[in-house]
Amino acid sequence: MKTVVKSKGSIVTRDFHFQRHNSLLFIEEMGERAVVFTLKNLRNFARTYLEIHGDEFFYIEYERGFRLGLLRFNNTFSRIKDPIKRLEKILKFSEWTGAWQVVEWSFNSKTKKGYAIIKNSYWAEVLKPFDRPVCHNLAGYLAAIIGSAYGMELEAEEVECEAKGDERCYFIIHAID
Ligand SMILES: [Zn+2]
C-alpha cells in the first residue's frame, strides 16, 4: 500500500515503508537497514564532535558529505541512467528522509555556476544558534551529487544558514578552479 503525502508547495512525495525482521528495520524501497534516531540524539552527537574537533569538525563534515554524495550518486539510484534525472531523484530522497527540503536549485553547465536553496536543514536545527553557516555536510553533498550529474568537479559554499537566523540555507555552487 502506498502513502502519498502532499507537502507544502504541492510537492508530492511517497513515504518509506519499513519492514521489521526481529530487531532489525529495513526500508522496503531500498532494501537497506534503517535505524530511527531523533534530532536530539543527533544534536548530542554533533555537539560532542564539535567540542572535540573545534572548527575542524566542519571540514570533516564537508568531506564526509562529499563522499556520501559520491556514494549516493553511484550506488543508490544507479538504475536511473539519465544523470540529471538521477540527481533529481536523489534531491527528492533527502525530503523523504526528513533531512531537508530542496526548495529551488539550478546549475548552468556553461558558466559552471549554480545555487541551491534548502529549508529545514537538520544540521542547522541541531547546531543552532550559531554565528555562521553550519551545513558543511550538505554543501559537500550538493557539490558531489550535482558535480557527478554534470561530470564536473564542483565545490559548494553556504552563504546563508537557518542556524544563524537566516530564513533559508543558501548554497552557491561553482567549478573548482
Ligand atoms: Zn544551513
Residues of the chain with CATH 3.30.1380.20: 38-175
Residue-level pLDDT at 1: 39
Q: How does the average pLDDT of the chain come out, rounded?
A: 89
pLDDT band of 30, cuts 50, 70, 90: confident
Residue 95: in which H helix or E strand, if any?
helix 83-96
CATH topology of domain 38-175: Muramoyl-pentapeptide Carboxypeptidase; domain 2 (3.30.1380)
CA of 165 relative to ligand 1 center, distance in Å: 10
CA of 35 relative to ligand 1 center, distance in Å: 24
Q: What is the mean pLDDT of residues 121-133?
A: 95
DSSP 8-state class, residue 30: T
User: Whole-angstrom Cα distance, residue 121 to residue 168?
Assistant: 9
CA of 145 relative to ligand 1 center, distance in Å: 18
- Looking up cell 550518486, which residue turns up? 73
Residue-level pLDDT at 43: 94
Give yes or no for residue 31 having a pLDDT over 60: yes
DSSP 8-state class, residue 117: E
Residue-level pLDDT at 15: 65
Q: Which residues, listed in sequence order, are joined to residue 104 by a DSSP beta bridge?
A: 117
User: Whole-angstrom Cα distance, residue 149 to residue 57?
Assistant: 27
Give yes or no for residue 14 having a pLDDT over 80: no
CA of 60 relative to ligand 1 center, distance in Å: 16
**pTM, 2 dp:** 0.84
Residue-level pLDDT at 74: 92
Residue-level pLDDT at 5: 44
pLDDT band of 3, cuts 50, 70, 90: very low
pLDDT in tens, 49-106: 999 999 999 999 999 999 999 999 998 888 899 999 999 999 988 887 788 999 999 9
CA of 19 relative to ligand 1 center, distance in Å: 32
H helices within the chain, ranges in order? 39-53, 56-71, 83-96, 122-127, 136-150
CA of 132 relative to ligand 1 center, distance in Å: 9
CA of 20 relative to ligand 1 center, distance in Å: 33
- Looking up cell 544558514, which residue turns up? 161
